[in-house]
Amino acid sequence: MLRIALPNKGRLSEEARELFNQAGLEVRGKSDRALTASLGGEFEAIFVRAQDIPEFVADDAADAGITGFDLVSESGRILDSLLDLGFGRCRLVLAARDESAVRSVGDIEENARVATVFPSISRAFFEGAGKKVTIVPVSGAAEIAPHLGIADIIVDITSTGSTLKTNGLREVATVLESTARLFSSPTIRTAADGGKRVALAELVAALDSVIHARGKRYLMANVPRASLDRVREILPGLNGPTVIDILNGGEHVAVHAVVDAGTVYRTIASLKAVGGEGILLTRIERLMP
């Protein structure tokens, strides 16, 4: 049975649990505080800190894990990235005080002090930019460092930038973009037990089917046969609409297609304009392209 490391708290934990539930792998633990749980009876989950997951997976304490790309990059551990889950989106940015003369990386003076929770990523970034700086590792609240004189600039995580603005800081450059991803240990690729590779591939397919279904809807409608050319333009779908003859439908046929949820109102209006009727729209739980 595969062991999957999941974040034990926070937004990443909530969204990871929801993703597994939607994939039919319900998280079943003895209590909310349990350190382990069953995932639909198919896999075992262990709940640990998100920042510890790269170590657990790299050391084969877990076969796979869900955590942020930023945390894996900071750990320096070599893992296989199997699937971008699309949530936990954030950026690691370089920021300076509003009144600072630093407007770009090129403006940073030699030996400038940089406060950050991500010293490894920051060090590599400045080395790549040809800048010699002094990294000041902090465990949190890097935003206050420039105001206390601890550092000249910071490298910190942001989602919207609002926290930086609230604390009188201005973004200078993006260091790294991150999302939550499913990672596995490279040892699974060469393991003698091929069963784990098969199980991992099945897990990826299950989670990916949920991700593909997000933002999509399944649409069915009856349309005039004479309007099919126009309907195919309106409903490109994944491979064009499916056209089905209707028993005693006369000059009408049924069309089925997967459409984008964000523009479905336009799609329905366009179908009605070419004589579409009996239009039915439904959510998609899982989608295998």
Q: 282 forms bridges with which residues in the sheet?
A: 218
CATH number at residue 163: 3.40.190.10
For the residues 188-215, what does the mean pLDDT come to? 90
| 94 belongs to a structural domain | yes
Q: In sequence order, which residues have a C-beta less than 8 Å from that of residue 143 and are 6 or more positions away?
A: 95, 154, 156, 163, 164, 167, 169
Does residue 175 have a pLDDT over 80? yes
User: Looking at residue 125, what is its pLDDT?
Assistant: 97
Enclosing domain of residue 223: 216-283
User: Looking at residue 249, what is its pLDDT?
Assistant: 64
Residues 114 and 236 in one domain: no
Scored b (16 or more CB within 10 A) or e, 74-93 reads bbebebeebbebebbebbbb
Residues 107 and 163 in one domain: yes
End-of-domain residue from the set 124, 153, 177: 177
CATH number at residue 257: 3.30.70.120
User: Looking at residue 277, what is its pLDDT?
Assistant: 93
Between CA 242 and CA 220 the distance in angstroms is: 9
User: Looking at residue 33, what is its pLDDT?
Assistant: 77
| 222 belongs to a structural domain | yes
For the segment 51-85, what is each residue's pLDDT rounded down to a tens digit?
Answer: 999 999 999 999 999 999 999 999 999 999 999 99
Does residue 196 have a pLDDT over 80? yes
| 288 belongs to a structural domain | no
**Phi-psi bin for 136: left (phi > 0), alpha (psi -120 to 50), beta?**
beta
Band (pLDDT 50/70/90 cuts) for residue 238 is: low
Does residue 237 have a pLDDT over 70? no
Residues 82 and 18 in one domain: yes
Residues 41 and 151 in one domain: no
Share of residues in the chain with pLDDT > 70 (%): 99
Residues 19 and 80 in one domain: yes
Residues 26 and 128 in one domain: no
For the residues 208-212, what does the mean pLDDT come to? 96
Residues 103 and 163 in one domain: yes
Our measurement of the distance from residue 218's CA atom to the centroid of its chain's CA atoms, rounded to an integer in Å, reads 23
pTM, two decimals, is 0.88
If one compares 264 and 194, the residue with the highest pLDDT of the two is 264
If one compares 13 and 160, the residue with the highest pLDDT of the two is 13
| 58 belongs to a structural domain | yes
- Choose among 76, 40, 57: nearest CA to 5: 57
End-of-domain residue from the set 126, 150, 177: 177
For the segment 110-138, what is each residue's pLDDT rounded down to a tens digit?
Answer: 999 999 999 999 999 999 999 999 999 99
| 238 belongs to a structural domain | yes
**How many domains would you assign to the chain?**
3
Residues 196 and 223 in one domain: no
